[in-house]
Amino acid sequence: MLPRQDLYPGYDVLAKRDGPSWNAKTRAVLDERLAIGPEMRRFFDEAEWMTLKALAARIVPQPADREVPVPVAALVDYKLAIGEHDGYRDATMPDEREAWRQGLRALDAEARAQFGARFHELSTWAQDELLKLAERGELTDAAWASMPSKLFFKHRVLGDVVKAYYAHPTAWNEIGWGGPASPRGYVRMDFDRRDPWEAAEAKPGREDEAYAENLRVGD
């Protein structure tokens, strides 16, 4: 595993907001998403919220020096508050909202039973140990009721938390995705070709070139 790097230095997909790659609808949708603050919470209660935030920090960890972290927990809360659904559930699972409440309560119960503290109070090592057990379906505290911890981890934790993070422009910058592209689209399609409005990747020793290119994506 390579460590996370600043692979697209200076790239900000939001620099393209007022250009030909964003239509009016896209601007409206992203404005709404970017207005979601880190403590915006409508669906979860206080106890669930602490657990969710700790959980999100383990599933999609963010650099400690990031000035404005992606509000992952708030994005998950937002999805549940507006009642957005996947469109299916395993026969052994309750619906999305109930699964989340039940799963977060159960994780907390497991933390207390195994480590004597609430989930968000545990060290990251202990949190990861519990998450690995959930991933394998080996958490079976009564608080899970009939919901398999494995499916909670796969469908809710991985599904909702990961999608929340990668719905945010900060995550798009990190991976060098071009972002919204209507109506302009793209022109250069071949290997190792980029349009001037796409992120430039830092090649070893040539980081300054990428940085300069990335400041121009909104031109």
**Segment lying near another protein (by CB under 8 A), choices 88-96, 97-105, 140-148, 206-214:** 88-96
Distance, in Å, from the CA atom of 22 to the CA atom of 185, rounded to the nearest integer, reads 10
Are the C-beta atoms of 71 and 40 separated by less than 8 Å?
yes
Asked if 191 interacts with another protein (CB under 8 A), we say yes
Q: Which of 181, 202, 210, 217 binds another protein (CB under 8 A)?
A: 181
Token pair 């119960």 is found at: 109
Token pair 């290997």 is found at: 191
DSSP of 147-189, one letter per residue?
S-HHHIIIIIIIIIIHHHHTTSHHHHHHHT-----TTT--S--
Asked if 7 interacts with another protein (CB under 8 A), we say yes
Backbone angles phi, psi at 208, to 5 degrees: -65, -35
Asked if 87 interacts with another protein (CB under 8 A), we say yes
Q: Which of 187, 196, 206, 209 binds another protein (CB under 8 A)?
A: 187
Distance, in Å, from the CA atom of 135 to the CA atom of 151, rounded to the nearest integer, reads 8
Q: Which is nearer to another protein, 47 or 81 (CB)?
A: 81
- Name residues contacting another protein, limited to 121-160 (CB under 8 A): 128, 131, 135, 154, 158-159
> Among 161, 148, 170, 165, which Cα is nearest to 13's?
170
**Segment lying near another protein (by CB under 8 A), choices 16-24, 37-45, 98-106, 206-214:** 16-24
Distance, in Å, from the CA atom of 61 to the CA atom of 72, rounded to the nearest integer, reads 10
Q: Which of 5, 37, 67, 116 binds another protein (CB under 8 A)?
A: 5
Angle between helix 72-81 and 96-115 (nearest 10):
140
Distance, in Å, from the CA atom of 143 to the CA atom of 51, rounded to the nearest integer, reads 15
Q: Which of 40, 162, 207, 215 binds another protein (CB under 8 A)?
A: 162
State the binding string over 18-47 for another protein (x if CB under 8 A, else -): --xxxxxxx-xxx--x--------------
**How many binding residues for another protein (CB under 8 A)?**
67
Are the C-beta atoms of 144 and 106 separated by less than 8 Å?
yes
Q: Which of 165, 202, 210, 213 binds another protein (CB under 8 A)?
A: 165
Binding stretches for another protein (CB under 8 A): 1-5, 7, 20-26, 28-30, 33, 58-61, 84-91, 95, 128, 131, 135, 154, 158-159, 162-163, 165-167, 171-172, 174-194, 198-199, 201
